[in-house]
Structure 1
Amino acid sequence: MKDLRACLDGYRSVGEVESEGEFTLSRSHAEKKLQDFRLPEARLYVLNLVSACLCGGASFVDFRADADELWMATDLKVDDLAPLEELSSIVFASQTHPALKELAVGVNGSLQLSPSLVKLEVWGETEGIEVKWEGSGFQATSTSPQAEIPGARFYIKEKPGFRTARKFAGALGGGMVPDSEEDAIFRYCNRAPIGIEFNGKQVNRPLILGTKRFRVFADRELGASHPLLNLGRRKPLPSPGNYTGLLARGGRLAPWVTLVVNGVNFRMPENAFRASDLRGVVYVDFLAKDLSQVQLVQDAQFDGVLEQLNNLARVL
């Protein structure tokens, strides 16, 4: 983690602060510094793509993949597409739309696979943009909308190698390769509040609580497709914060609590809660990820959410 912090300090040392207080980085500096930024596992770039879809208000995410290619389609909506012309720089811009920043991190993260081609298309109601990488930097081109509704598409083509051979062999055997994008999506996005499919298979899985002693709490009216909508016959409790979730106690199942931040699961350690039999899932999108992208920042907001959940658990 210290190395990651030092990396970020290095970004800021060559950046500029604009009049509104936004931290920015020139394209040349950003591309150079991005060489130092690496996801813990290259395949995890797909988690940022999922988060981008949630931040952009998408209602679905559809992945298709084979041994050396992956496609993603979604109906996210972002009003201002101009920042995508500088896909490297907006990774470090402080006031970029969260959906665009997640897209930028995901696309840049995918370059760790040394692909032969990466292409991102995003469009609104009247205009669109295509950003392409073919081994020598990003090239952005203005386009017309690719569909009647706003959305985005992502495509990556890997070069033949050991990883693609493993995925090919895994597909022949009907199994899931542990270090594949498919495994990452099914492992870390199975609690997303919108529908996600991978090669036609539903990623979202039902909640198995092992007890009738549970309550749903919400800070808003749940959408028709929300996984918590049809759980329980009683009206949801008011949420103590800007989040929605479910907590359960009792039964024989092992304790677990997962925080879902923009579609991605973050499993909490058992000692984070005072109740030893607590299970649940909480959708809390305002928590921040650290630079590694796979852990949450344990700041005052994080501590506050855990304390509120501990208090909720006492009334179950």
Structure 2
Amino acid sequence: MIQRMRKYRLYPTVEQKQGLRAFMGTCRWTYKQAVAHFRKTNVSSAITLRDLNVTQNQRRQRVYPDGMEPPPDWVFDTPKSIRYNTLRKFQTNVKAAFSNKKNGNIDRFQIRTKSRKKDGHNFTFCEDPTNANITHVADESKALLSISNLKDMPIRCDPGLVVTNEIQITNTNGFWYSVIPLFVQPMPYTNAGKAIALDQGLKASLHYQTCAYLTKHYDTIVLPIFSSKDMVKKSSKRNHAYNKMLLGLKHFQFRELLKTKCEVAGKALVVCSEIQTCGRCSRLHLKIGNQDVFECPHCGHAAGRDVSAALNILRFTCAGSLAVYAIHSLKKKRLTISLGLQRVPD
């Protein structure tokens, strides 16, 4: 069983919409308080922030940083679980930022508040499965979703859907939606031995249509590594239109979508790059750049760039797990490829 997120349309009444907007406003205020507290103390623990901004009756004395005060009374009208989930989301965002900085993905970061002007009036909030319930009505196309003190909100969902994990409530273009996780059974299939290698120039087809076609007709899909973020960094800041178009293609989003579709369909997705690998000696040509002809500086092997890469991918994919050793500037450096380990040259 594979867990997937499904988005279902909500049809709340006028009073229920007012309640949902009140929850969103309180969650936004709670998130801003967490950001302000983090900027003053560098503390992002959800438990510490809960004692200051979520719990109404506290035995221990609350100590707030300079310029911060206890939450007003209207904050406690929103259920405690929803406000605490907002703090957990903030803690996750801070941890992700520190992890990206540690791994070298970013140089610096700044935790900012959820601005209405930039992020819109809507704020996604979460509810625990213990406080969320779906009631299915016989002979009705819509079920009833209840969260905390908001009861019986009409929702159009799959028959027999049960809330087993944390759900999200969001608003998109004035329409209310509930994002509910569920478990999907992978489809059985017979391996016909079909494989396909993709180029990164997917501009004409939509992501979903392309993924559906690939998972339907092929058992193994080979996808090259395409880092648009690095290309934008190397590009000139003046070339704003090119950077915007390159990032708008969303190659990473397509790869993640294709990965999830392959998991559900039981197909194999291999992400690799063999452009720099020599097909004869298995060493790397790190200075190939944008040359159309691959000329190995170690053994003198020459071949077309695309032909050499295609043959390497086909050979290494069929061979299974492989390892590559690169020799550059008289220094032996081991490179790890997503395919695993290649043949090690003597």
TM-score by length of 1: 0.24
TM-score by length of 2: 0.22
Bigger radius of gyration, 1 or 2? 2
